[in-house]
Amino acid sequence: MLKIGILGAGAIGGVLAAALDQNRINARLVALADQDVERARALSARLACHPPVMSIDEMIEHSELAVEAASQAALPDFVPRALARGRDMLIMSVGGLLGREEWFRQAAEKNCRIYVPSGAIAGLDGVKSASVGRLESAVLTSRKPVAALRGSQYVVEKGLALESFTEETVIFDGLAEEAARAFPATSNVAASLRLAVGSSIPVRVRIVAVPGGNQNIHEIQVQGEFGRLRVTVENVPSKDNPRTSQLAAYSAIATLAGLTGSLRVGT
């Protein structure tokens, strides 16, 4: 059985670890790592398989596939170590992969695979198929509750008075690369779309602050030779981390289940 280690014992890591523990994936959880060692120990104690808590290095050493469910800031500690050991990876903090073409080159040299689940969006299967032909435009519109945007570096730097908004307000309109930098905790979806589209056209991202409500709503619109695609996901937030959508953890589970199962559906 595929040996899996997880970096990050938070909302996504916890749900993924529980799915492995309940044998919902044909793989074995062999190690946990987290900068908050107590959090990782508490997660391990809740699981029947009691995976050992290790350093990032040891966790990678013990795994065949290492999952990152920590933060964009963790990637420079995680990816080069996994590459050095030739391990496959599943990355949730996708924004941290943008501009890191050297990691993709090294992965190809080492024959490592980097898996990027769909996370909190849907439709990447269709976007990838569409990008085989000529694309004309790709736009992501993310509607986020004010509460989820509060404290973002961009909001603080721009001095945006989110609490004074009485209606939906576009607070960011720019390239996916800029969105991933401006909102590192919330713009992984922009980065996932960027990677799925490829480099032929820019990906435009609009972030809309919504007073009240608690849903992150992502809409993708892509147009090209194939026709037009429009996909909207109205996400329910994770109970452990309101900035994270429940679907994101499920997408990690579905990706691992797809890797270890005999049937693959979708592009």
Ligand X SMILES: NC(=O)c1ccc[n+]([C@@H]2O[C@H](COP(=O)([O-])OP(=O)(O)OC[C@H]3O[C@@H](n4cnc5c(N)ncnc54)[C@H](O)[C@@H]3O)[C@@H](O)[C@H]2O)c1
**Which residue ranges make up the site for ligand X (CB under 6 A)?**
7-13, 34-36, 39, 69-74, 77, 92-94, 119-120, 185, 188-189, 192, 240-241, 244-245, 248
- Nearest approach in angstroms of CB 7 to ligand X is 6
- By C-beta, is 69 or 139 nearer to ligand X? 69
- By C-beta, is 226 or 242 nearer to ligand X? 242
SS3 content of the chain, % helix, strand, coil (to 5): 40, 25, 35
- Record the tokens describing residue 77, joined without a space: 């500690």
**How many other CB atoms are there within 10 angstroms of residue 133's CB atom?**
10
Amino acid at 51: P
Phi/psi for 46 (5° steps) reads -80, -15
Residue pair 231/121 in contact by the 8 Å Cβ criterion: yes
- Nearest approach in angstroms of CB 184 to ligand X is 7
- By C-beta, is 184 or 224 nearer to ligand X? 184
Angle, to 10 degrees, between the axis of helix 11-21 and the axis of helix 37-46?
Answer: 30
- Nearest approach in angstroms of CB 181 to ligand X is 13
CB closest to ligand X, residue no: 10
Q: Which of 35, 27, 74 is nearest to 54 (CA)?
A: 35
- By C-beta, is 11 or 27 nearer to ligand X? 11
The residues, ordered by sequence, that sit 6+ positions from 5 with a Cβ below 8 Å of its Cβ are 29, 30, 31, 32, 33, 54, 59, 60, 62, 63, 65, 66, 67
- Nearest approach in angstroms of CB 166 to ligand X is 28
* CA angle, residues 243, 246, 252, in degrees to nearest 5: 110
CA–CA dist 113, 218 (Å, integer): 27
- Record the tokens describing residue 195, joined without a space: 């990677």
Q: Is residue 204 within a helix (H) or strand (E), and if so which, with residue range? A: strand 204-210
- By C-beta, is 99 or 133 nearer to ligand X? 99
Whether 218 is catalytic is yes
Q: Per the residue annotation, which of 216, 218, 251, 255 is the catalytic one? A: 218
**How many other CB atoms are there within 10 angstroms of residue 72's CB atom?**
22
- Record the tokens describing residue 266, joined without a space: 């979708």
- By C-beta, is 224 or 248 nearer to ligand X? 248
The DSSP symbol for 96 reads: G
Catalytic machinery residues:
218
